[in-house]
Structure 1
Amino acid sequence: MAHHLYKYGEFEINDKPATLYQLEGRFAFINQLTWYNNKLDGEKHHFQRLCSRERQYQKFLFYKYFFANPKPLIVTEGKTDVAYLKSALKKLYNEYPNLITKNSNGKFEFKISFLNKTKRLKHFMGIFQDGGTALKNIYDFFDSKKSDTTNYLSFFKKTSNTLPINPVILMFDNEIHSGDKKPIGNFLNHAKLDEKKREDLKHKNFVDIIDNLYLLTTPLIGDKSECDIEDLFEDSVLSHKIDGKEFTKKDKYDVSKYYGKEIFSKYILTNYSSINFTNFRTILDNIDNIINTHRKGGAGAGHDLEEKNIDMISAGKVLLEI
């Protein structure tokens, strides 16, 4: 059943077209016993050392989220980054019709998706809630040479005889100047990006890595040598007090004097219409550029493999639900 999906982009249950939800339900049921036993034995279970049943589920999750993703997918370094990007898109929706639309009822529809880092993805793929380690682990499934990580991109390309339609974009804070002391520098060394791609990243803030996998950083503002995503907000927003407390980007702080990123992101989501997102335009422009480049085959998409007699875009809309 799963193999038929991977090979042809569709499958049936009881002679009727089936969805990814149905197949994932079967995977989840099969893995319930393994999950329960893992809890009982008291040992730590690493995503790179799963049993055979768990590896089949891991393979399915890669297919669902990173190979057959029906929309361009953004995976952020920080867990609050998604709130900032969604808020910026809502404020600037008229400028980015390929990324977001607003219907007659005033409801926004995102044409891109943001990875929800669930406990399931943490267990099966090492995708943690926060930090750059999750993005390194995702990369390994695309281009790993390590014996303990399966290169699923290569597997699905060979099995389906197609290339993925939509890009997967890994987004980091722009802290390249600090080298591998910061997540982006650590990632660049881990992925062994050559000097040309590193220079392209510094100048354009995005670069293709392999097939549908791309790397994106925040732009540098003013004369700063490094910028995290919060630096894109105006000082008046960053200095906003809530219940008499000031905002801090630090992970550890005095809660009687400061509030952190989680509360700040909720403030941004609630008040996006009155906030200036000018400095976010570069990120949104680059996301738009990546999507357009990938769909035109600029990163090699769709050129090397035989075109299959299947409408994968339609299949994505009907069968590949997320």
Structure 2
Amino acid sequence: MGLVQRRLATRLYECVLEIEEKQPNRRRVTHGFQKGRSIITNADRHHSRRYVFNIDIQDFFQSINFGRVRGFFQKDSTFALNDEVATTIAQIACWQNGLPQGSPCSPVIANLVGHILDVKLLKLAKQARCRYTRYADDISFSTSERNFPSLIAARADGKPAVWEPSENLASAIRQAGFAINPAKTRMQIRGSRQMATGLMVNEKVNIRPEYYNETRAMCHRLFTTGRYEIPRWPDRQETDQLGALEGRLSHIFAVKARLDLSSKRRKERHVKVPSGTIELCRRFLFYKNFVVNPLPVIITEGPSDVIYLRAALRARGKEFPKLYDARQEQKFLVRFVNHSHFMRENLLGHGVGGLGTLISRYHATLQEYAQEGQTAPVVLLVDNDEESDKAFKAAKKAIKEDGNGAASISVESNDAWHHLIDNLYLVKIPHGGAEQKKRVIEQLLPEEWLKHEVDGKRFDPSKKHGDHSSLGKVFFAKKVVEANADKINFGAFDALFSLLDGALRDFEDKRKQEAGGKVMAAS
């Protein structure tokens, strides 16, 4: 059923895009479950206002029952489906007579059915000179008028601190087939803390200080003990699982960096992430990826490199059992670092220059953690060209400072791999013979695939995203290499995989020597 629900969701999202092309204002007040919309964009509509009034819809998903789903697809003029099709959609989407939370098709159907609610409440908000937004079941009105409009809400009789929704508001919500949750109605006035979708909106959209301080304390405990407590867990249990903490940090960074805005809008608003936030995220990502990494980690220059390596390892992995398990499990035995915005801005930097900075700071950063010894190696994989010069220089300096003497690392050098410092290694794309010392990873692909055309366009390695006349790196990696992986000869990657294999074996040997030395010292 999960696969069928995902396919239904995909089709419905395609329908929504068509509807929004014809009705561009349709989505402007709805911020939940839509591309480019989030709790941040929702909260942004209400910052720096005199009044912020929030209400919740009671049992939002469950109140959209089987009959409502079927009736919507039958009667809505943009769909007007026959009884059989509408019934089938409702059968796929509903469980126990409602939209189940967690189903891939519940959000898109909830937004479609909830559109009538948005129409009614937007009309009411305009009459009251308020801003209105909805994120799923979370509804916000705000205004800077001297008095909050009674058309929306008013103080309760005899209880000046209590605000109640107006009958106009309650009636409009009932007419749309929903009800207000009386336990979650709240008015916030300028001078006190104002919240919308869990974010502070007094002067700008921001994280609650308590949430940030709590997260920082969790990180400190993790870095010093290897474990941390998750607030509000039963019995305050400790864990070493990093997912929950990474989710909190990603959320904090997204809000502080205003990732909902375009880069142009961020510049216009002078958005700058506090240095303390960047440092906290950097330390966590370093810890996760380089200190307690259970598998060898491979860091590439960009996301397209990861796509090439995954495709090539699936094809050639049988020859390299330290890198890939080609048996029935068919799994990678190394982890490729994800080039997300979160990673680039807080740890990796941009391109090979960022890797050079990482090398320069690696040993000093490693000393900040209480963890003794690293469990797996970290391998930097770079192209063998002049663009990598900054990384080569940083690598030579790291080797020298580690007491291993000078090293020759350049485009011309033919060394297999380099142990830089601690658990950090450098591998560069191997030469293609005496006539092809300069080499980038794309040159390991067969020439005919580098010339492969998609819609009349060829790959241009100088362009990351491509344009009207050429394919960029990421598009080429996905639409040509990944899409045709079963047809491409990845044999030229064997030389590179041999180098990676050598670095991993060297780390294992060093670990064994260290363990042997400790045994000797103990005896």
TM-score (norm 2): 0.48
Superposition map of 1:47-66 within 5 A: 50-51=275-276, 53-66=277-290
After superposition, give the CA deviation of every residue in 1:55-96 in whole Å (9 maximum; x if it has no partner): 233212210112111211111113311111111101012112
Return the alpha-carbon distance in structure 2 between the equivalents of residues 101 and 64 of structure 1: 23
Structure 1 residues 42 and 299: CA distance shift in structure 2, 3 A: farther
Q: 2:430 aligns with which of 219, 227, 233?
A: 219
Residue 359 of structure 2 is matched in structure 1 by 139
Q: Name which of 320, 325, 345 aligns with 1:123.
A: 345
Structure-2 residue corresponding to 1:264: 476
Q: Helix, strand or coil for the counterpart of 2:368? A: helix
Distance in 1 (alpha carbons) for counterparts of 2:300 and 2:414: 20
Deviation digits for residues 184-242 of structure 1 (CA, Å, limit 9, x no counterpart): 21222244435842259922231011111111100111321311111112222222222
Partner of 1:312: none
SS in 1 for 2:461: coil
Q: Distance in 2 between matches of 1:263 and 1:40?
A: 28
Aligned pairs for 1:1-322 within 5 A: 1-13=218-230, 14-18=235-239, 19-28=241-250, 34-35=256-257, 42-43=269-270, 45=272, 50-51=275-276, 53-102=277-326, 104=328, 108-125=330-347, 127-128=349-350, 131-143=351-363, 151-156=364-369, 159-160=370-371, 162-175=372-385, 182-193=386-397, 196-198=406-408, 202-222=413-433, 223-251=435-463, 255-266=467-478, 267-297=480-510
Q: CA separation in 2, counterparts of 1:234 and 1:30?
A: 44
SS in structure 2 of the partner of residue 230 of structure 1:
helix
Deviates most, 242-251 or 75-84: 242-251
Query: How many angstroms does 1:41 deviate by?
Result: 9.3
Contact 1:209 1:215 (C-alpha < 8 Å) held by counterparts: yes
Match of 1:311 in 2: none
Percent identity of paired positions between Structure 1 and Structure 2: 27
* Cross-structure match for 1:313: none
Larger Rg: 2
- Report the Cα distance in structure 2 between the residues aligned to 1:196 and 1:219, rounded to whole angstroms: 21
- Is this contact kept in 2: 1:200–1:206, CA < 8 A? no
Q: Secondary structure at the match of 1:117?
A: coil
Q: Distance in 2 between matches of 1:241 and 1:72?
A: 35
Q: Secondary structure at the match of 2:298?
A: strand
Looking at structure 2, the residues matched to 206 and 24 of structure 1 have their Cα atoms a distance apart, in angstroms, of: 32
Shift of 1:102: 3.9
Alpha-carbon shift at residue 163 of structure 1 (Å):
1.6
Q: Distance in 2 between matches of 1:268 and 1:283?
A: 17
In 2, the alpha carbon distance for the partners of 1:137 and 1:97 equals: 32
Distance change (3 Å), C-alpha of 1:245 and 1:197 = same
Distance 1:140 1:301, change over 3 A: farther
**Match of 1:317?**
none
- Contact 1:238/1:247, CA 8 A, preserved across alignment: yes
Structure 1 counterpart of 2:368, one-letter code: F
The answer to whether the 8 Å contact 1:163/1:305 transfers is: no
Taking a change above 3 Å as real, the CA distance of residues 253 and 214 of structure 1, as seen in their structure-2 partners, is closer
- TM-aligned CA deviation for residue 277 of structure 1: 1.4
Q: Give the secondary structure class of the aligned counterpart of 1:214.
A: strand
Q: Sort the Cα spacing of 1:253 and 1:230 in 2 relative to 1 into closer, same or farther, 3 A.
A: same
Aligned CA distance change for structure 1 residues 57 and 200 (closer, same or farther; 3 Å): closer
Q: Distance in 2 between matches of 1:21 and 1:254?
A: 34
Asked if 2 retains the 8 angstrom alpha-carbon contact of 1:165 and 1:301, the reply is no
Closer/same/farther in 2, CA of residues 127 and 82 from structure 1, 3 Å limit: same
Whether the 8 Å CA contact 1:80–1:262 is kept in 2: the answer is yes
**Aligned mates of 2:392, 2:251 — CA distance in 1:** 38
Tell me the distance in 2 between the aligned counterparts of 1:224 and 1:298: 35
TM-score normalised over the length of structure 1: 0.75
- Contact 1:168/1:214, CA 8 A, preserved across alignment: yes
- 2:24 paired residue number: none
Gaps of 5+ in 1: 144-150, 176-181, 307-322
Q: Secondary structure at the match of 2:374?
A: coil
Partners in 2 of 1:91 and 1:249 — Cα distance? 23
In structure 2, the gaps of 5 or more residues are 1-217, 259-265
Amino acid at match of 2:222: L
Q: Which has the higher contact order (CA 8 A, sep 6+)?
A: 1
Per the alignment, in what secondary structure is the counterpart of residue 215 of structure 1? strand
